[in-house]
Amino acid sequence: MKEGPLISVVIPVYNEESYVSDLIKSIKQQTYKNYEIIAADSSTDETPKILKKLKVKVVRIPKTNVSAARNAGIKEAKGDILALIDADYILQRNLFSSVVNFFEDSKNKKVVCIEPRPKLSLKDLKRRDIIKFRFLNELIYVYKKLSFFTFLPAAYGCDFCMADAVKKSGLFNEEIDVAEDKEFFSRLRKIGKFKIIKQHVRMSYRRHSKEGAIKTGLLYFFAAISALFTKRFKFKFKSIRRKSKNK
Protein backbone atom coordinates (compact mmCIF):
# COMPACT_ATOMS: atom_id res chain seq x y z
CA MET A 1 0.00 0.00 0.00
CA LYS A 2 1.40 3.40 -0.98
CA GLU A 3 2.48 5.43 2.07
CA GLY A 4 1.82 8.83 0.49
CA PRO A 5 3.73 12.10 0.62
CA LEU A 6 5.39 13.27 3.82
CA ILE A 7 3.75 16.27 5.53
CA SER A 8 6.18 18.46 7.48
CA VAL A 9 4.33 20.37 10.19
CA VAL A 10 6.21 23.54 11.14
CA ILE A 11 5.06 25.26 14.35
CA PRO A 12 6.56 28.55 15.57
CA VAL A 13 6.46 28.45 19.36
CA TYR A 14 6.99 31.09 22.05
CA ASN A 15 5.54 30.47 25.53
CA GLU A 16 2.57 28.43 24.31
CA GLU A 17 2.26 26.10 27.31
CA SER A 18 -1.53 26.54 27.45
CA TYR A 19 -2.08 25.93 23.73
CA VAL A 20 0.51 23.79 21.99
CA SER A 21 -0.44 20.44 23.54
CA ASP A 22 -3.99 20.77 22.12
CA LEU A 23 -2.55 21.28 18.64
CA ILE A 24 -0.03 18.44 18.85
CA LYS A 25 -2.61 16.00 20.22
CA SER A 26 -4.90 16.87 17.30
CA ILE A 27 -1.97 16.15 14.94
CA LYS A 28 -1.23 12.81 16.57
CA GLN A 29 -4.91 11.85 16.19
CA GLN A 30 -4.82 12.34 12.42
CA THR A 31 -5.95 9.36 10.34
CA TYR A 32 -3.05 10.08 7.94
CA LYS A 33 0.21 9.09 9.64
CA ASN A 34 3.04 10.04 7.27
CA TYR A 35 4.04 13.32 8.89
CA GLU A 36 6.77 14.93 10.96
CA ILE A 37 6.37 17.72 13.53
CA ILE A 38 9.00 20.45 13.88
CA ALA A 39 8.62 23.08 16.59
CA ALA A 40 10.82 26.16 16.27
CA ASP A 41 10.93 27.13 19.93
CA SER A 42 12.26 30.11 21.86
CA SER A 43 10.11 29.65 24.97
CA THR A 44 10.97 30.50 28.57
CA ASP A 45 7.94 28.81 30.18
CA GLU A 46 6.97 25.11 30.41
CA THR A 47 6.57 24.73 26.64
CA PRO A 48 9.92 22.88 26.08
CA LYS A 49 8.92 20.25 28.68
CA ILE A 50 5.56 19.77 26.96
CA LEU A 51 7.22 19.38 23.55
CA LYS A 52 9.68 16.84 24.97
CA LYS A 53 6.90 14.85 26.64
CA LEU A 54 4.95 14.76 23.38
CA LYS A 55 8.11 13.64 21.49
CA VAL A 56 8.19 16.56 19.09
CA LYS A 57 11.33 17.47 17.18
CA VAL A 58 12.48 20.86 18.49
CA VAL A 59 14.71 23.46 16.86
CA ARG A 60 15.81 25.84 19.62
CA ILE A 61 16.23 29.40 18.35
CA PRO A 62 16.78 32.83 19.92
CA LYS A 63 13.60 34.90 20.23
CA THR A 64 13.35 37.20 17.22
CA ASN A 65 10.06 37.00 15.31
CA VAL A 66 7.68 34.50 13.78
CA SER A 67 9.33 34.81 10.34
CA ALA A 68 12.65 33.60 11.73
CA ALA A 69 10.92 30.78 13.62
CA ARG A 70 9.07 29.56 10.53
CA ASN A 71 12.24 29.73 8.43
CA ALA A 72 14.15 27.68 11.00
CA GLY A 73 11.47 25.00 10.88
CA ILE A 74 11.20 25.02 7.08
CA LYS A 75 14.97 24.52 6.76
CA GLU A 76 14.67 21.32 8.84
CA ALA A 77 11.62 20.01 6.97
CA LYS A 78 11.92 17.01 4.67
CA GLY A 79 8.32 16.80 3.48
CA ASP A 80 6.68 17.18 0.09
CA ILE A 81 3.97 19.27 1.78
CA LEU A 82 4.73 22.01 4.32
CA ALA A 83 2.05 22.57 6.95
CA LEU A 84 2.60 26.03 8.44
CA ILE A 85 0.48 25.98 11.59
CA ASP A 86 0.30 28.40 14.51
CA ALA A 87 0.46 26.91 18.01
CA ASP A 88 -3.11 27.85 19.01
CA TYR A 89 -4.96 25.84 16.34
CA ILE A 90 -6.81 22.53 16.71
CA LEU A 91 -7.19 20.28 13.65
CA GLN A 92 -10.06 18.16 12.42
CA ARG A 93 -9.10 14.46 12.58
CA ASN A 94 -9.22 13.74 8.82
CA LEU A 95 -7.54 16.99 7.75
CA PHE A 96 -4.18 15.53 6.64
CA SER A 97 -5.80 12.79 4.56
CA SER A 98 -8.03 15.39 2.86
CA VAL A 99 -4.99 17.59 2.13
CA VAL A 100 -3.08 14.69 0.53
CA ASN A 101 -6.11 13.61 -1.52
CA PHE A 102 -6.56 17.18 -2.74
CA PHE A 103 -2.96 17.61 -3.88
CA GLU A 104 -2.90 14.15 -5.53
CA ASP A 105 -6.02 14.92 -7.59
CA SER A 106 -4.92 15.75 -11.14
CA LYS A 107 -7.50 18.59 -11.29
CA ASN A 108 -5.49 20.50 -8.70
CA LYS A 109 -2.03 20.46 -10.31
CA LYS A 110 -1.88 24.28 -10.44
CA VAL A 111 -2.68 24.67 -6.72
CA VAL A 112 0.33 25.44 -4.49
CA CYS A 113 -1.41 26.19 -1.19
CA ILE A 114 -4.63 25.10 0.50
CA GLU A 115 -6.25 26.15 3.75
CA PRO A 116 -9.02 24.51 5.78
CA ARG A 117 -12.10 26.45 6.73
CA PRO A 118 -11.60 28.42 9.97
CA LYS A 119 -13.94 27.77 12.88
CA LEU A 120 -14.11 29.42 16.26
CA SER A 121 -12.27 28.18 19.35
CA LEU A 122 -14.28 29.31 22.38
CA LYS A 123 -11.51 28.96 24.98
CA ASP A 124 -10.30 32.56 24.86
CA LEU A 125 -13.66 34.29 24.46
CA LYS A 126 -15.96 35.85 27.01
CA ARG A 127 -19.41 34.37 26.78
CA ARG A 128 -20.97 37.71 25.81
CA ASP A 129 -18.60 37.96 22.82
CA ILE A 130 -19.22 34.54 21.27
CA ILE A 131 -21.97 35.64 18.84
CA LYS A 132 -19.89 38.66 17.75
CA PHE A 133 -16.85 36.52 17.04
CA ARG A 134 -18.88 33.88 15.23
CA PHE A 135 -20.04 36.64 12.90
CA LEU A 136 -16.45 37.93 12.54
CA ASN A 137 -15.26 34.41 11.77
CA GLU A 138 -17.78 34.07 8.94
CA LEU A 139 -16.70 37.43 7.51
CA ILE A 140 -13.06 36.29 7.62
CA TYR A 141 -13.99 33.04 5.86
CA VAL A 142 -15.73 34.91 3.02
CA TYR A 143 -12.84 37.41 2.80
CA LYS A 144 -10.30 34.59 2.61
CA LYS A 145 -12.26 32.74 -0.06
CA LEU A 146 -12.57 35.82 -2.27
CA SER A 147 -8.95 36.85 -1.73
CA PHE A 148 -7.67 33.49 -2.99
CA PHE A 149 -8.70 34.57 -6.50
CA THR A 150 -6.41 37.60 -6.26
CA PHE A 151 -2.64 38.00 -6.00
CA LEU A 152 -2.95 38.96 -2.31
CA PRO A 153 -4.35 35.82 -0.67
CA ALA A 154 -5.45 36.26 2.95
CA ALA A 155 -3.76 33.04 4.04
CA TYR A 156 -2.56 32.69 7.61
CA GLY A 157 -2.52 30.44 10.64
CA CYS A 158 -2.93 26.98 9.09
CA ASP A 159 -1.70 26.53 5.52
CA PHE A 160 -0.56 23.52 3.51
CA CYS A 161 1.94 24.44 0.80
CA MET A 162 3.76 22.41 -1.82
CA ALA A 163 7.40 22.36 -0.67
CA ASP A 164 8.86 22.79 -4.15
CA ALA A 165 6.74 25.94 -4.67
CA VAL A 166 7.99 27.39 -1.37
CA LYS A 167 11.58 26.79 -2.48
CA LYS A 168 10.90 28.74 -5.67
CA SER A 169 9.15 31.65 -3.93
CA GLY A 170 11.67 32.02 -1.10
CA LEU A 171 11.41 31.95 2.69
CA PHE A 172 9.69 34.41 5.03
CA ASN A 173 11.15 37.91 5.19
CA GLU A 174 12.73 38.23 8.65
CA GLU A 175 12.57 42.03 8.46
CA ILE A 176 8.81 41.79 8.91
CA ASP A 177 7.33 41.23 12.40
CA VAL A 178 3.61 41.53 11.54
CA ALA A 179 1.85 40.56 8.27
CA GLU A 180 4.89 38.50 7.27
CA ASP A 181 2.43 35.93 5.91
CA LYS A 182 0.85 38.50 3.58
CA GLU A 183 4.21 39.27 1.94
CA PHE A 184 5.23 35.59 1.83
CA PHE A 185 1.98 34.34 0.32
CA SER A 186 1.88 37.17 -2.22
CA ARG A 187 5.11 35.69 -3.64
CA LEU A 188 3.83 32.13 -3.46
CA ARG A 189 0.61 33.15 -5.25
CA LYS A 190 2.66 34.12 -8.33
CA ILE A 191 3.63 30.45 -8.71
CA GLY A 192 0.18 28.87 -8.42
CA LYS A 193 -3.37 28.93 -7.08
CA PHE A 194 -4.74 28.96 -3.52
CA LYS A 195 -7.86 27.08 -2.42
CA ILE A 196 -9.99 26.62 0.71
CA ILE A 197 -11.13 23.07 1.45
CA LYS A 198 -14.23 22.10 3.40
CA GLN A 199 -12.41 20.47 6.34
CA HIS A 200 -12.07 22.80 9.30
CA VAL A 201 -9.70 23.89 12.04
CA ARG A 202 -10.46 25.63 15.31
CA MET A 203 -8.63 28.95 15.57
CA SER A 204 -8.11 31.24 18.56
CA TYR A 205 -9.19 34.87 18.54
CA ARG A 206 -7.17 35.63 21.68
CA ARG A 207 -5.68 38.91 20.42
CA HIS A 208 -8.97 40.14 18.94
CA SER A 209 -10.73 39.32 22.21
CA LYS A 210 -8.13 40.92 24.48
CA GLU A 211 -7.30 44.06 22.47
CA GLY A 212 -10.45 44.49 20.42
CA ALA A 213 -11.26 43.38 16.89
CA ILE A 214 -11.03 46.91 15.41
CA LYS A 215 -7.66 47.73 16.98
CA THR A 216 -6.25 44.33 15.96
CA GLY A 217 -7.66 44.62 12.44
CA LEU A 218 -6.13 48.08 11.95
CA LEU A 219 -2.73 46.87 13.16
CA TYR A 220 -2.73 44.03 10.64
CA PHE A 221 -4.01 46.30 7.87
CA PHE A 222 -1.26 48.92 8.26
CA ALA A 223 1.35 46.22 8.83
CA ALA A 224 0.29 44.52 5.59
CA ILE A 225 0.57 47.77 3.61
CA SER A 226 4.06 48.35 4.99
CA ALA A 227 5.15 44.74 4.49
CA LEU A 228 4.02 44.68 0.88
CA PHE A 229 5.52 48.02 -0.17
CA THR A 230 8.61 48.47 1.99
CA LYS A 231 9.34 44.77 2.67
CA ARG A 232 9.90 45.52 6.36
CA PHE A 233 7.78 46.21 9.42
CA LYS A 234 9.06 46.17 13.00
CA PHE A 235 6.60 45.92 15.87
CA LYS A 236 6.94 44.51 19.38
CA PHE A 237 3.89 42.36 19.96
CA LYS A 238 2.53 42.11 23.48
CA SER A 239 2.10 38.39 24.12
CA ILE A 240 -1.52 37.35 24.61
CA ARG A 241 -1.69 34.09 26.53
CA ARG A 242 -4.37 32.09 28.30
CA LYS A 243 -3.63 31.58 31.98
CA SER A 244 -1.69 28.35 32.37
CA LYS A 245 -3.47 25.37 33.86
CA ASN A 246 -0.35 24.77 35.92
CA LYS A 247 -0.44 28.15 37.71
Q: Could you tell me if residue 240 is inside a domain? A: no
Q: Could you tell me if residue 1 is inside a domain? A: no
| Count: domains in the chain | 1
Total residues belonging to the chain:
247
Q: Could you tell me if residue 117 is inside a domain? A: yes
Q: What is the domain-level CATH number for residue 103?
A: 3.90.550.10
* pLDDT (tens digit per residue) in 171-221: 999 998 888 999 999 999 999 999 999 999 998 766 665 656 666 666 666
Taking alpha carbons only, the member of 158, 12, 4 closest to residue 74 is 12
Q: Could you tell me if residue 199 is inside a domain? A: yes
Which residues 6+ apart lie within 8 Å of 214 measured at CB?
A: none
Q: Could you tell me if residue 238 is inside a domain? A: no
* pLDDT (tens digit per residue) in 31-47: 999 999 999 999 999 99
The boundaries of the domain holding residue 107 are 7-230
